[in-house]
Structure 1
Amino acid sequence: MSGTDTEAPAEETASKQWKFPTAYTVLAVVTLAVWALTFVIPPGQYELDDDGRPVQGSYQQIDADQSFGDRLYDLFVSPVNGLYGIQDPTTGLVGPNNTGDLYGAVQVFLFVLAVGAFITVTFATGALDRGIGRLAHRLRDRGILLVVGIMVIFAIAGTVEGFAEETLGFYALIVPLTLALGYDRMTAVGAIILGAGVGVLCSTVNPFATGTASSAADVPIGDGIGLRLAMLVVLTAVTVLYVLWYARRVKKDPAKSLSGWQDGDRESSAAEAPVPDPLTGRQQFALWFVGFTFLFMIFAIIPWASVIEGPDAASYAWQLDWYFPELTAMFLVASVITGVVGGLGEEGVTGKIVAGFGDFVGAGLVIVLARGITVIMNNAHITDTVLHSLEGVVSGTSSGVFAIAVFIVNIPLAFLIPSTSGHATLAMPIMAPLADFAGVPRSLVITAWQSASGWMNLIAPTTAVVMGGLALAKVRYDRYLRFVGPLLLILFVLICGFLVLGTAVA
């Protein structure tokens, strides 16, 4: 064979393969597209009520009086204004040289960094991964309990702190255990991806989903937590039962495995699985403290008076009503306490906190970029125009249909922007006011949005959680789609049912 006919090296071929762009690139393209649309979409605005929300039917076109230079400047500084943009009370424009109320994403940005520091410190103590490892080993002879235990723990972690990428570290432990118990690799994939994924889908206080969306929608994080808790219980139970059904089916008839069997898969024994090191006293205390931190966060953000007595009730004396500044400070303090209790020492604690900031600054930048798009739209006064164009559509639908429509519309957006934080920051400024026109709580729009994001991220080929997990488990993507397809349909129907229920009890 001649030299011109030889195949290119595998590395070179792989490097030339097209990959779907990252969330940063997608948001950059959207920024340019939205900026271009400001020259086409006419400016306009709504009258606002006492709560600062648009009054239905009050829209009118205005003269924005923005030159090309002004708009070019807005594009240039949009990421900066997205972070700390300040709104001029006279002109309504957002920019660093004005005075007025904070308008940017700085509170959410710092909150994400603080949560990242807390998660990084927690893993550095070895408490969480060793605790899960000990649980898995203890249940190694009880296959059903192993699958249920792993999925429930991952679902709880997903709903409170967006536990997703962290699951990649558990494949080396859980895959051998499931194989040793007579199940296949797909069972392990289902337990890990679907366990954590359904928790994120039903986020209750997940700072990267519920927290970011609540900030963008201008509602407390605790609003709508009752419906989300009900969804978490029901959808997690359904997902666990689905994985158990598949696992039992494969164990009874190995030929029905969707992932197939590799050499050595059916030759291991659960009794031969290595015993993880026991938790030290420090790690046990750190594990309990982590659980306490998230429980206290839930307590701090719930508006207890309105939950117990109704939306018009006054606050109780012990009701904290915490928001991003307080929660950020709480996670920073909790990071220090967890690190000290976990035995990291002064240098270890500070190092891991800084490392956590670095690991999660990417998620924060996605929020900043998405908020920059909102700033461009607001400065050009086209946000209300877009809202007005959707007002007529919403006005003619029932609240149940509206909630389901929000869910469906956000599914393709979740594919384009797999980052939950970026997706929330981009979609909520438009979606949340629509809820006012449709007569439903803004919290229900948040629930519909995060359900769409979580549903899509169970299969999105743009996420490391799915593709990285499948690579670690050595399971083909097409086979995973065959496995998860029926469950996706079931979850779709259940989500729509809960959204309709949410409009009925609102």
Structure 2
Amino acid sequence: MVYIIRFAHKNRIKKTYQILETDKLTLRNKIILGLLAITFGIVTYGLIELEWGFTEMSACFFALALASGLIAKFGFNKTTEIYVDGFKELIFACVIIGLANSISIILTKGLVIDTIVYALFTPLKNIPTALSAVMMMISHSILHFPIPSYSGQAILTMPILTPLSDLIGLPRQITVLAYQYGAILMDLIVPTNGALMAVIAIAGIKYNNWLKFILKPTLIILVLAAIAILTAIQIGYH
């Protein structure tokens, strides 16, 4: 937080003043907002009770878009044009997500991931326990590049790290802590994180510019995480 506040102070921009002209909500506006609330309610119920996925959610919002356009008296043509214009803003983000996921798929299907996991974690048994815990976090950080999925990374690494932790006398909870710190923090950096790439693509931010901004605070947080892990070892956290 301190880093972000200091960055904002050092990169001030001139204030701009804008006069906003607002209109009162019409009956059509209220109906559309009501349909939006109902749609979210239906989607929420479907996700919780009916095990819906993206297909069902997309169908609900597609129907909402068509209904909203007709209620607003746009007609089928204009409604479709507006829908396509909105889709254009997201298509680049969709392509980025696909490319990001393809890296993980290639490494997984090519059985390269197992080799990476073995090379990262096997040497940890030969170093002191405290250093091993910190290196686990760093290894998880590196591994999150080819495996942006939390569950996938846990499934691949925990069968190796659990017995390794028992062998070197490291509490299993600290092993999980190292996984949480290492994997989750890397979501701010790794280009294989489809959500990150989609967000910065929609915002019109180049990845190299984002990396220059976020790299330093991420490293600071990793250092704090390493201190937290060492503290956990000292106080017997388990």
Q: Secondary structure at the match of 1:140?
A: helix
1:103 aligns with 2:86: yes
Residue by residue over 1:205-264, the C-alpha shift from the partner in whole angstroms, topping out at 9 and shown as x without a partner, is 4543432322343433443322311012221122123213433x2xxxxxx5332xxxxx
d(CA) in 1 for partners of 2:63, 2:98: 19
d(CA) in 2 for partners of 1:221, 1:74: 37
d(CA) in 2 for partners of 1:189, 1:120: 25
d(CA) in 2 for partners of 1:147, 1:210: 28
d(CA) in 2 for partners of 1:187, 1:153: 14
Map 1:35-114 → 2, pairs under 5 A: 56-62=17-23, 67=28, 71=32, 75=36, 79-80=61-62, 97-98=80-81, 102-104=85-87, 105-114=90-99
* Alpha-carbon contact 1:158-1:198 (below 8 Å) kept: no
d(CA) in 1 for partners of 2:27, 2:146: 43
Determine which structure has the larger helix proportion and give its number: 2
What is the Cα deviation at residue 136 of structure 1? Answer: 1.8
How many percent of aligned residue pairs carry the same amino acid? 11
* Structure 1 residues 73 and 175, CA gap change in structure 2 (3 angstroms): same
What is the Cα deviation at residue 182 of structure 1? Answer: 1.5
Give the equivalent residue in structure 1 for 2:9.
none
Map 1:402-481 → 2, pairs under 5 A: none
Q: What is the aligned counterpart of 1:118 among 73, 91, 103? A: 103
Amino acid at match of 1:203: I
Q: What is the aligned counterpart of 2:135 among 149, 174, 177? A: 149
d(CA) in 2 for partners of 1:151, 1:119: 20
* Structure 1 residues 173 and 138, CA gap change in structure 2 (3 angstroms): same
d(CA) in 2 for partners of 1:209, 1:217: 12
Give the equivalent residue in structure 1 for 2:176.
189
Amino acid at match of 1:189: V
Consecutive unaligned residues of structure 1, counting only runs of 5 or more, are 1-54, 250-255, 260-506
Amino acid at match of 1:79: F
Residue by residue over 1:430-449, the C-alpha shift from the partner in whole angstroms, topping out at 9 and shown as x without a partner, is xxxxxxxxxxxxxxxxxxxx
What is the Cα deviation at residue 192 of structure 1? Answer: 1.3
Give the equivalent residue in structure 2 for 1:166.
152
Alignment TM-score, normalising by the size of structure 1: 0.32
* Structure 1 residues 69 and 197, CA gap change in structure 2 (3 angstroms): closer
* Structure 1 residues 198 and 98, CA gap change in structure 2 (3 angstroms): closer
Q: What is the aligned counterpart of 1:234 among 192, 200, 220? A: 220
Q: Please, what is the CA RMSD of the aligned residues?
A: 3.9
Give the equivalent residue in structure 1 for 2:125.
140
Give the equivalent residue in structure 2 for 1:203.
189
d(CA) in 2 for partners of 1:108, 1:242: 36
* Alpha-carbon contact 2:93-2:201 (below 8 Å) kept: yes
Alignment TM-score, normalising by the size of structure 2: 0.62
